[in-house]
Amino acid sequence: MMFIPPPMWWCFGYCYNPYYTPFSYLFFGFLFWIIKLIIFIVVFIDILRRDDLDTLEKILWILIVWFLGIIGAIIYYLLSRRNSKTKGNNGKNISSN
């Protein structure tokens, strides 16, 4: 006797779906984890190389990025780039001519 799966409307698409495999979720989860790790390493190196931050500020930024993850990295880059554009020679505002 051959197995005939029930109609798709009966199980709302979860009975047999060739794209619903644990491997695909594991692969994309691993890929997302690798991307997060690379972003954290890049931000971590950028924070440590900055000379305009004190030691306490560097520790605080590292903790923010550590606990907030991708959102913390985005906040860091938005705030650090804005601060570096407004500061010119000796902290003077270079945007005003």
Q: What is the pTM of this model?
A: 0.58
Domain presence at residue 17: no
Domain presence at residue 59: yes
Domain presence at residue 13: no
Domain presence at residue 57: yes
**Torsion angle of alpha carbons 49, 53, 57, 63, nearest 10°?**
-20
Q: Where are the alpha helices (DSSP H) in the chain?
A: 8-11, 22-49, 55-68, 70-86
Q: What is the pLDDT of residues 10-66, one digit of tens each?
A: 555 555 555 555 666 677 778 888 888 999 999 999 999 998 889 999 999 999 999
- How many structural domains does the chain have? 1
**Residues 34, 37: Cα–Cα separation, whole Å:** 5
What integer is the mean pLDDT of 75-96?
Answer: 67
Domain presence at residue 20: no
Domain presence at residue 26: no
Contacts of 15 (CB under 8 A, 6+ apart): 5, 6, 8
- Whether 77 and 83 have beta carbons less than 8 Å apart is answered as no
**What domain range is 49 assigned to?**
33-84
